[in-house]
């Protein structure tokens, strides 16, 4: 294992050149920021990985937090925050966009780096925080004491391992492990090697890490989280709250497998361009029906987009169920321009007739109701002791379900449970893709074909 870790470290430790580049851009940004905020009597801080030097060499993002006094209103904070952000990016001769998370912020592109300028409150105590970004200065403070120099390579190994298995990031798309969480885990387990050993034994709901010793035992409110890591600066917060049960288990199994057979592939998996012909065959072999909805990706940050995509996909899956379609699975793909919701149904077409078992003939009241309800619209008879009705479906195909449900105004879609930004996009138009069109789309879009391949192969235990 040591050999593998050594080889990985060689790849993930920023080179002198990279460090210099990062240092220089950081300096540039901070001085630009300072020149803007000093006159306003504000302070600023950086995201933790830059503070503690735990960033990975492919990181091309810098987060600057602009700290406002707590007396200022949220509205003013947002307004001034945007002004300041724009000014800083302008000073740096970069381009900016306005992004939205818990509140709007400025995202600039400067010398090949993404620079997020995020306003937050400067508070005395982490328990006073008003939004998650307000916590960052406290995290920096706590770790400046506890995070040792020797943890740097260990943290990098952990981050790269998580990246390799696809669960690095606590964002709404990934539902995995944040950089801060990685640092805390290394503070707790000291080395990556030790972490892997311990993690391979983790059981969901049984892992409780409380570095500051706030609790005697796991508090009830965290009982249903697969992993609980109490925030050292805020005992009410589980730093691992975003980690899904699936990603928790992926990590545990990966650790187990890595211990059994260490390989650099866990950190740097091979990514071959998938063979669309193979994907097509796999889809056919399943004997199910695939149908997908394609629409323009709303221009919003991923942390807003992904919950909306998930909510929408779930809503549509439920609509299929209401129309008696058996949903075997669904998943979401989202690219820069277009997003696709893919549904796998037992069948894309249902019979014209539908049979309903009614009340027992001996129940006069219920029999009467059942007869009244179906006498005119269907056929009625008795099987055994029960009234039975045969009614006719108005909608027989999955395609029609989508058309009827989604052909609506933005307002109408929102009222039907489609998330707001998605409703807006879909109301302007959408395409229905069936098996053939899905394959065609995969042929043109290798990221989508990778997504399809992963959907078809999802399995926590390799056995093929």
Toward a second copy, which CB reaches closer, 256 or 338?
256
- List beta partners, residue 332: 341
Name the minimum Å distance from CB 437 to a second copy.
Answer: 20
Choice from 17, 112, 394, 461 touching a second copy (CB under 8 A): 461
The helix/strand/coil state of 221 is helix
The span of 51-59, 76-84, 176-184, 197-205 binding a second copy (CB under 8 A) equals: 197-205
39 binds a second copy (CB under 8 A): no
Toward a second copy, which CB reaches closer, 57 or 205?
205
Choice from 123, 259, 300, 328 touching a second copy (CB under 8 A): 328
204 binds a second copy (CB under 8 A): yes
Toward a second copy, which CB reaches closer, 152 or 218?
218
382 binds a second copy (CB under 8 A): yes
User: What part of residues 224-253 is at the interface with a second copy (CB under 8 A)?
Assistant: 224, 226, 244-246, 248-249
Name the minimum Å distance from CB 380 to a second copy.
Answer: 5
Convert 422-449 to b/e letters by CB count within 10 Å (16 or more is b): bbbbbbeebeebebeebbebbeebeebb
CA distances from 64 to 85, 108, 198, 324 (A): 9, 11, 34, 51
For the record, the structure tokens of 129 come out as 């925080």
The span of 59-67, 120-128, 157-165, 453-461 binding a second copy (CB under 8 A) equals: 453-461
Per DSSP (E only), the strands in 302-436 are 327-334, 338-345, 353-360, 379-383, 386-392, 431-434
The helix/strand/coil state of 375 is coil
The helix/strand/coil state of 412 is helix
458 binds a second copy (CB under 8 A): yes
d(CA 395, CA 435): 20
User: What part of residues 82-121 is at the interface with a second copy (CB under 8 A)?
Assistant: none
Name the minimum Å distance from CB 350 to a second copy.
Answer: 7
d(CA 138, CA 174): 25
454 binds a second copy (CB under 8 A): no
Toward a second copy, which CB reaches closer, 166 or 329?
329
The answer to whether 259 and 196 have CB atoms below 8 angstroms apart is yes
Choice from 286, 321, 403, 411 touching a second copy (CB under 8 A): 286
463 binds a second copy (CB under 8 A): yes
Toward a second copy, which CB reaches closer, 193 or 366?
366
Task: Find, among 343, 440, 442, the residue nearest to 398 by Cα.
Answer: 343
Name the minimum Å distance from CB 286 to a second copy.
Answer: 5
Toward a second copy, which CB reaches closer, 200 or 249?
249
The answer to whether 108 and 115 have CB atoms below 8 angstroms apart is yes
d(CA 69, CA 330): 46
Name the minimum Å distance from CB 351 to a second copy.
Answer: 4
Toward a second copy, which CB reaches closer, 209 or 371?
371
Name the minimum Å distance from CB 253 to a second copy.
Answer: 10
Task: Give the contact letters, 329-358, x = binds to a second copy (CB under 8 A), - = no.
Answer: x----------------xx-xxxxx-x---
Task: Find, among 300, 371, 342, 372, the residue nearest to 438 by Cα.
Answer: 342
The helix/strand/coil state of 109 is strand
176 binds a second copy (CB under 8 A): no
Task: Find, among 165, 158, 212, 164, the residue nearest to 185 by Cα.
Answer: 158
Q: Within a 13 Å sphere around the CA of 407, how many CA atoms are in the beta-carbon half?
A: 8
Tell me the Cα Rg of the chain. Answer: 27
Toward a second copy, which CB reaches closer, 17 or 463?
463
Question: Angle at Cα 455 formed by Cα 449 and Cα 460, nearest 5°?
Answer: 130
For the record, the structure tokens of 407 come out as 């052909």
459 binds a second copy (CB under 8 A): yes
Choice from 51, 211, 371, 391 touching a second copy (CB under 8 A): 371
285 binds a second copy (CB under 8 A): yes
Name the minimum Å distance from CB 252 to a second copy.
Answer: 10
Burial of 110 (0-12, 13-18, 19+ CB in 10 A): buried
The span of 52-60, 109-117, 142-150, 379-387 binding a second copy (CB under 8 A) equals: 379-387
Choice from 361, 391, 432, 450 touching a second copy (CB under 8 A): 361
Name the minimum Å distance from CB 202 to a second copy.
Answer: 11
d(CA 42, CA 47): 17
Applying CB under 8 A, which residues contact a second copy?
A: 203-206, 224, 226, 244-246, 248-249, 285-288, 328-329, 346-347, 349-353, 355, 361-362, 364, 371, 375-376, 379-385, 390, 396, 457-461, 463
């Amino acid at each position: 294992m040591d050999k593998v870790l050594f080889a990985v470290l060689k790849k993930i430790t920023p080179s002198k050149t990279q460090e210099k580049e990062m240092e220089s851009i950081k300096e540039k940004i901070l001085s630009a920021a300072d020149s803007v905020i000093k006159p306003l009597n504000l302070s600023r801080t950086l995201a933790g990985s830059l503070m503690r030097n735990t960033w990975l060499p492919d990181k091309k993002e810098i987060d600057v937090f602009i700290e406002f006094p707590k007396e200022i209103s949220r509205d003013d904070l947002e307004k001034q925050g945007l002004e300041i952000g724009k000014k800083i990016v302008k000073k740096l001769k970069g381009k900016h966009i306005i992004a939205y998370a818990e509140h709007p912020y400025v995202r600039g592109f400067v010398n090949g780096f993404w620079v997020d300028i995020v306003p937050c409150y400067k508070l005395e105590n982490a328990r006073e925080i008003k939004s998650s970004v307000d916590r960052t200065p406290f995290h920096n403070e706590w770790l400046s004491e506890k995070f040792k120099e020797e943890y740097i390579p260990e943290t990098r190994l952990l981050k790269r391992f998580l990246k390799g298995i696809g669960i690095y990031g606590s964002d709404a798309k990934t539902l995995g492990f944040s950089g801060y969480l990685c640092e805390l885990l290394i503070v707790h387990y000291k080395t990556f090697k030790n972490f892997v050993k311990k993690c391979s034994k983790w059981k969901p709901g049984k892992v409780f890490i409380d570095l500051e010793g706030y609790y005697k035992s796991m508090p009830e409110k965290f009982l249903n989280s697969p992993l609980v890591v109490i925030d050292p600066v805020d005992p009410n917060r589980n730093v691992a709250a975003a980690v899904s049960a699936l990603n928790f288990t992926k990590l545990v199994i990966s650790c187990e497998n890595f211990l059994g057979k260490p390989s650099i592939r866990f950190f740097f998996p091979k990514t071959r361009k998938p063979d669309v012909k193979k994907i097509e065959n796999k889809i056919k072999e399943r004997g199910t029906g695939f149908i997908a909805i394609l629409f323009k990706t709303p221009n919003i940050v991923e942390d807003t987009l992904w919950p909306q995509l998930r909510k929408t996909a779930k809503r549509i899956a439920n609509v299929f169920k209401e129309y008696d379609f058996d949903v075997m699975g669904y998943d979401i793909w989202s690219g820069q321009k277009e997003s696709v919701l893919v549904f796998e149904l037992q069948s894309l077409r249902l019979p014209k007739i539908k049979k309903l078992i009614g009340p027992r003939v001996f129940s006069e009241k219920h029999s009467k109701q059942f007869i009244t309800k179906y006498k005119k619209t269907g056929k009625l008879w008795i099987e055994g002791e029960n009234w039975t009705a045969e009614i006719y479906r108005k909608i027989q195909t999955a395609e029609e379900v989508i058309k009827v449900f989604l052909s609506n105004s933005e307002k109408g879609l929102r009222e039907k449970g489609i998330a707001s930004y998605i409703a807006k996009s879909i109301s302007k138009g959408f395409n229905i893709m069936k098996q053939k069109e899905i394959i065609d789309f995969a042929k043109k879009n290798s990221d989508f074909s990778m997504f399809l391949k992963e959907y078809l192969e999802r399995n926590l235990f390799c056995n093929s």
